[in-house]
């Protein structure tokens, strides 16, 4: 097969499903790329529903989605993939690099307002601690405690007109769902932006990815407290990447991301299998 061609398989997976395996550089997907002589590039698009298929692309695009045959590969935003020189695994050999994919988050804004953070936590130190990685194993984005509290408090401030309700399970802020209207991209709540290499490169998180419906009456902010001294300061979890197409280019160390496909009136379950992808 021509390495420039893309092949596709589908997966039934969601934040409630079993973790999606092998995302890191030494994981199952990159090994499959090598075994089948694909260019070392793959893309992942996780469905938000356990009853709908997500899609994995091996090789390059196009990534064409219904109903309008929209090629998402033409509108991806790019940011560098960062190698953590120290493994983040539970057990590892000395000198072994991390098998996770890291990106350079420089700041976080909510409704366009910068959240005050200890920015030293956003960079990796010489021991490989800190920074931001992408995980399909974690169901929700986990943040170091001070980052988590700053983000949740800023979010709550921006939505102060909505009644709070008692917190549920993992989450630190929950609201009366009946007081939150719906929008094209989920609950109409403040937009959360991860600011990457500069202020013009942002990963936008809308209501469908920032909120979790825990009952008919309760919506919670879908981020969790990662503790006071986690190895990685921010771990972007499965719920936040649902219906986002992520393209991992291992050769050029670059991540392409779409932000929410729902904003473009499509979803990961709407891949067009009759296209030439």
Residue 42's pLDDT band, with cuts at 50, 70 and 90, is confident
Q: What is the pLDDT of residues 176-228, one digit of tens each?
A: 999 999 999 999 999 999 999 999 999 999 999 999 999 999 999 999 999 99
The pLDDT of residue 85: 82
pLDDT at position 162: 97
161-166: long-range pairs with CB below 8 Å, 24+: 165/217, 165/218
How far, in Å, CA of 237 to CA of 187, rounded?
Answer: 19
Per-chain mean pLDDT for the chain: 85
For the four alpha carbons of 192, 198, 199 and 200, in that order, the dihedral sign comes to negative
- pLDDT over 90 (residue 98): no
If you ran DSSP here, which 8-state letter would residue 270 be given? Answer: G
Banded pLDDT at 60 (limits 50, 70, 90): confident
pLDDT confidence of residue 95: 63
Q: Above 50 in pLDDT, residue 4? A: no
Q: What SS3 state is found at 209?
A: helix
pLDDT of residue 80: 97
Q: What pLDDT sits at residue 92?
A: 58
**Structure confidence by residue, pLDDT tens digits, 225-270:** 999 999 999 999 999 999 999 999 988 999 999 999 999 999 998 9
Q: Is the predicted pLDDT of residue 276 greater than 80, yes or no?
A: no
In the chain, what percentage of residues exceed pLDDT 70?
Answer: 81
Categorize the per-residue pLDDT at 9 as very low, low, confident or very high, splitting at 50, 70 and 90: very low
Q: What is the DSSP letter of 97?
A: P
DSSP H stretches of helix in the chain: 28-35, 145-158, 207-210, 238-241
Mean pLDDT of 19-41: 53
| pLDDT higher than 70, residue 275 | no
Other beta carbons within 10 angstroms of residue 195's beta carbon come to 19
Sequence-distant (6+) residues with CB within 8 A of 228 are: 144, 145
pLDDT of residue 24: 55
H or E segment and range at residue 56: strand 53-58
Percent of the chain at pLDDT > 90 equals 65
pTM: 0.87
Written as six digits, the tokens of 64 are 């064409």
Compute the C-alpha angle 123/93/18, nearest 5°. 70
């Amino acid at each position: 097969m021509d390495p420039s061609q893309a092949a596709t398989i589908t997966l039934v997976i969601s934040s409630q499903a079993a973790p999606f395996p092998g995302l890191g550089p030494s994981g199952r997907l990159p090994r499959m790329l090598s075994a089948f002589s694909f260019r070392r590039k793959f893309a992942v698009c996780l469905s938000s529903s356990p009853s709908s298929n997500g899609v994995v692309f091996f090789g390059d695009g196009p990534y064409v989605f219904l109903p309008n045959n929209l090629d998402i590969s033409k509108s991806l935003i790019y940011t560098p993939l960062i190698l953590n020189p120290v493994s983040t695994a539970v057990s590892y050999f000395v000198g072994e690099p991390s098998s996770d994919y890291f990106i350079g988050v420089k700041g976080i804004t909510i409704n366009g307002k910068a959240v005050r953070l200890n920015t030293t936590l956003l960079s990796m130190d010489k021991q490989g601690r800190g920074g931001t990685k992408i995980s399909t194993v974690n169901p929700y984005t986990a943040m170091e405690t001070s980052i988590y509290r700053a983000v949740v408090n800023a979010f709550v401030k921006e939505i102060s007109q909505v009644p709070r309700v008692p917190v549920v399970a993992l989450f630190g802020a929950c609201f009366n769902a009946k007081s939150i209207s719906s929008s094209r991209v989920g609950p109409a709540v403040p937009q959360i932006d991860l600011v990457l290499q500069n202020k013009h490169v942002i990963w936008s998180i809308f209501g469908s990815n920032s909120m979790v419906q825990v009952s008919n009456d309760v919506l919670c902010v879908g981020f969790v407290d990662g503790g006071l001294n986690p190895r990685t300061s921010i771990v972007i979890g499965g719920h936040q990447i649902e219906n986002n197409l992520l393209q991992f280019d291992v050769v050029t160390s670059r991540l392409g991301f779409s932000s929410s496909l729902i904003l473009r009136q499509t979803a990961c379950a709407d891949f067009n299998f009759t296209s030439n992808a």
